[in-house]
């Protein structure tokens, strides 16, 4: 079976939109895309970078080349778009027929897999993580109905911070060849001190990996993320992707961050976040208001408090916001705390100590 056979028939028969920029290269006189002939008035030159009056390259060649180097995969296996959120949406729309197909998720996990499935009218099959918040492979493989086209596995998982081993991912991908795509969301992998599963890409054509520049690379505002997958999957998604997914300023920002200087600073910052995560975990677990801190391989900690609502309220009064993740089954009483700068983290600890003292 070819991976294309998993896609919705409507997508296979679709005549994709052909954009002006994809049909011809840049030329001296550009009169094919109804663009303005001048750069925008009032926008400072420094902010314009490449010609802002021109539509951007749908998959910018220089950005693809940098990402290919960064992730050690061939450019043909990369689809870059508006954050990994866009890739999640495209995958569900491409592979799930409304009212027929399903996605599998492993709660508690990132919410967008379920939201995209609901928007598409795809059913959601939940295979809960085990009691240590690890993937329950036996349960997954036993319970997965034939209607499941996409399995979303988040590693490190948001909001628990747990990492899934390559052996587990290989077992799932190997068992589902010809049946479903296994999408490993590695939004936080840079903080895991563990290699990406992209090393397995050539071995399993049903494996896809989500990467983003929003977290370790500090570019959440630029919205740049990608899917690494088999070339067939990439070409299927390109059929339904909007013609110009990446704004020019975002392309420029990503190229800047991935340049040698940006790379060096980012690698150093990742190290800082990891050491702060360990410092914070050790300090938090000593506080009487804390019941447990889940071991985390991401840039956040999932912490169970004796009274999470009171902690959240009092932190807010100190000008500190954290995320209540108690709405997830089995995370009642937990708050998710992102690792900030050393000063911000110390501020949070001081506020928690003040709360203990004031009772």
Ligand X SMILES: Cc1ncc(COP(=O)(O)O)c(C=O)c1O
* Residue of the chain from 100, 119, 141, 220 that contacts ligand X (CB under 6 A): 220
The residues that bridge with 293 in the sheet, in sequence order, are: 303
- Between 140 and 154, name the residue whose CB sits nearer to ligand X: 154
User: Is position 214 an interface residue for ligand X (rule: CB under 6 A)?
Assistant: yes
| Position 85 contacts ligand X (CB under 6 A) | yes
Q: Of 56 and 161, which has the nearer Cβ to ligand X?
A: 161
Contacts made by residues 303-310, CB under 8 angstroms, sequence distance 24+: 303/334, 303/335, 303/336, 303/337, 304/333, 304/334, 305/333, 305/334, 305/335, 306/333, 308/333, 308/334, 308/335, 310/355
How far apart CA 238 and CA 11 sit, in angstroms, is 10
Binding track, positions 135-174, relative to ligand X; x by CB under 6 A? -------------------x---x----------------
The one among 185, 190, 230, 276 contacting ligand X by CB under 6 A: 185
Q: Choose which of 208, 225, 245, 326 interacts with ligand X (CB under 6 A).
A: 225
Q: How many residues bind ligand X (CB under 6 A)?
A: 12
Least Å distance, CB 85 to ligand X, is 3
Residue whose CB is less far from ligand X, 185 or 205? 185
Name the residue nearer to ligand X (CB basis): 162 or 287.
Answer: 162
Inter-residue long-range contacts of 174-177, CB under 8 Å, 24+ positions, other chains counted = 174/204, 175/141, 176/144, 176/151, 176/206, 177/204, 177/205, 177/206
Backbone angles phi, psi at 324, to 5 degrees: -80, 115
> Cα(296)–Cα(298) distance, rounded to whole angstroms?
6
187 binds ligand X (CB under 6 A): yes
Shortest Å, Cβ 235 to ligand X? 22
Select from 120, 212, 250, 299 the one that contacts ligand X (CB under 6 A): 212
Q: Is 320 exposed, middle or buried (0-12, 13-18, 19+ CB in 10 A)?
A: middle
Give 157-174 as a DSSP string: PTTT-PPPPHHHHHHHHH
Distances (CA, A) of 13 to 120, 236, 240, 303: 19, 11, 12, 49
- Which of the ranges 82-90, 138-146, 251-259, 320-328 carries the binding residues for ligand X, by CB under 6 A? 82-90
Q: Which of 3, 21, 84, 322 touches ligand X (CB under 6 A)?
A: 84
CB of 185: closest distance to ligand X in angstroms? Answer: 5
Structure tokens at 299: 């840039």
Among candidate residues 84, 141, 184, 114, the one with its CA nearest the CA of residue 329: 114
Interaction mask 7-36, ligand X, x per CB under 6 A: ------------------------------
Which residue lies nearer to ligand X by CB, 36 or 119?
A: 119
Phi, psi of 153 (to 5 degrees): -130, 120
Nearest position to ligand X, beta carbon: 83
Dist. CA 18–CA 9, nearest whole Å: 20
Choose between 174 and 262: whose C-beta lies nearer to ligand X: 262
Note whether 71 binds ligand X by CB under 6 A: no
CB of 302 to ligand X, least distance (A): 12
Q: Does 83 bind ligand X (CB under 6 A)?
A: yes
**Distance between CA atoms of 335 and 17, rounded to whole angstroms?**
44
């Amino acid at each position: 079976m070819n991976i294309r056979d998993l896609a919705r028939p409507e997508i296979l028969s679709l005549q994709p939109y052909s954009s002006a920029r994809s049909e011809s290269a840049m030329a001296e006189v550009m009169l094919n895309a109804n663009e303005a002939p001048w750069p925008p008035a009032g926008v400072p030159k420094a902010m314009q970078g490449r010609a802002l009056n021109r539509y951007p390259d749908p998959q910018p060649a220089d950005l693809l080349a940098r990402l290919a180097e960064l992730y050690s995969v061939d450019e043909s296996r990369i689809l870059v778009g508006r954050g990994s959120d866009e890739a999640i949406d495209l995958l569900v729309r491409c592979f799930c027929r409304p009212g027929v197909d399903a996605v599998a998720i492993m709660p508690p996990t990132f919410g967008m897999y379920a939201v995209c499935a609901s928007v598409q009218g795809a059913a959601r099959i939940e295979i809960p993580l085990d009691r240590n918040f690890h993937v329950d492979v036996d349960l997954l493989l036993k319970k997965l109905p034939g209607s499941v086209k996409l399995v979303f596995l988040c590693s490190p998982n948001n909001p628990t911070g747990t990492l899934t081993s390559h052996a587990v991912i290989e077992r799932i991908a190997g068992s589902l060849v010809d049946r479903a795509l296994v999408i490993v969301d590695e939004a936080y992998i840079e903080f895991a001190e563990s290699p990406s599963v992209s090393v397995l890409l050539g071995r399993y054509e049903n494996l896809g990996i989500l990467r983003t520049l929003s977290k370790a690379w500090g570019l959440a505002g630029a919205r740049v993320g990608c899917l690494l997958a088999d070339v067939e999957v990439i070409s299927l998604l390109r059929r339904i992707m909007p013609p110009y997914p990446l704004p020019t300023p975002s392309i420029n920002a990503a190229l800047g961050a991935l340049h040698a200087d940006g790379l060096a600073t980012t690698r150093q910052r990742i190290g800082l976040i990891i050491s702060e995560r360990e410092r914070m975990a050790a300090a938090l677990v000593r506080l009487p208001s804390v019941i447990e801190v889940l071991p985390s391989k991401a840039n956040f900690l999932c912490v169970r408090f004796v009274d999470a609502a009171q902690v959240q309220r009092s932190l807010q009064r100190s000008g500190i916001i954290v995320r209540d993740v108690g709405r997830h089954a089995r995370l009642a009483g937990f708050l998710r705390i992102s690792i900030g700068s050393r000063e911000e983290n110390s501020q949070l600890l001081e506020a928690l100590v003040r709360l203990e003292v004031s009772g």
